[in-house]
């Protein structure tokens, strides 16, 4: 017997139940996108605000999908915070150690080369998913 996919909703609220039903398929896709972004960010991680910006999600959607990943032990609190667009401290989330991909190989560059190629997130401009989302 297979179970239908389920999204939680507020008991007694027909609008909440309808909204939950409309998100059943989309939620899984959004959750996969959030996990992929957080994995891509490596140890730098991402705040909910950065996830919202990079994936063009509403705050409620981004934080709900990230929360689902936390409950599945796929994403964990890094123990760090970073400022949001509104200058508030936000938790930096990283993929749990069991879900992180191996780090890329290290290449040696001069400090000047690194500064020229780095974005404000400390990543190479061309490969930083947070910077690419802002273009």
pLDDT digits (tens, 9 = 90+) for 62-121: 999 999 999 999 999 999 999 999 999 999 999 998 555 555 555 555 556 665 666 666
Task: State the average pLDDT for the chain.
Answer: 79
Q: How far is CA 69 from the centre of its chain?
A: 9
Residue 2 has what pLDDT?
A: 47
Q: Locate the domains of the chain by residue range.
A: 1-97, 105-135
**Fold classification of 1-97 (topology level):** Arc Repressor Mutant, subunit A (1.10.10)
Within 10 Å of residue 67's Cβ, how many Cβ atoms? 14
- Between residues 77 and 15, the one the model is more confident about: 77
Under the phi-then-psi rule, with left for phi > 0, alpha for psi from -120 to 50, and beta for the rest, what region is 31? alpha
Give 102's contacts (C-beta < 8 A, 6+ positions apart). none
* pLDDT(58) > 80: yes
Residue 1 — very low, low, confident or very high, per pLDDT cuts 50/70/90? very low
For 67-135, give the DSSP string.
Answer: HHHHHTTSEEEEEEEEE-TTS-EEEEEEE-TTTPPPPPPP----HHHHHHHB-TTSSBGGG-HHHHHH-
DSSP letter at 46 equals B
Residue 97 is predicted with a pLDDT of: 80
- Tell me the per-residue pLDDT of 21-34, one tens digit each, with 9 for 90 and over: 766 678 888 999 99
Question: Angle CA(47)–CA(26)–CA(82) in degrees, nearest 5?
Answer: 5
pTM: 0.63
């Amino acid at each position: 017997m297979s179970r239908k996919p389920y999204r939680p909703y507020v008991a007694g609220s027909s609008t909440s139940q309808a909204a939950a039903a409309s998100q059943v398929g989309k939620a899984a896709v959004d959750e996969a996108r959030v996990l992929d972004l957080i994995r891509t960010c490596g140890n730098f991680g991402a705040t909910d605000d950065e996830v919202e910006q990079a994936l063009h999600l509403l705050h409620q959607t981004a934080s709900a999908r990230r929360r689902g990943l936390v409950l599945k032990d796929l994403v964990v609190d890094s123990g760090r915070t970073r400022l949001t667009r509104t200058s508030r401290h936000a938790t930096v989330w990283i993929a749990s150690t069991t879900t992180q991909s191996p780090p890329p190989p290290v290449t040696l560059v001069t400090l000047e080369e690194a500064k020229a190629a780095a974005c404000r997130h400390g990543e190479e401009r061309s490969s930083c998913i947070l910077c690419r989302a802002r273009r």
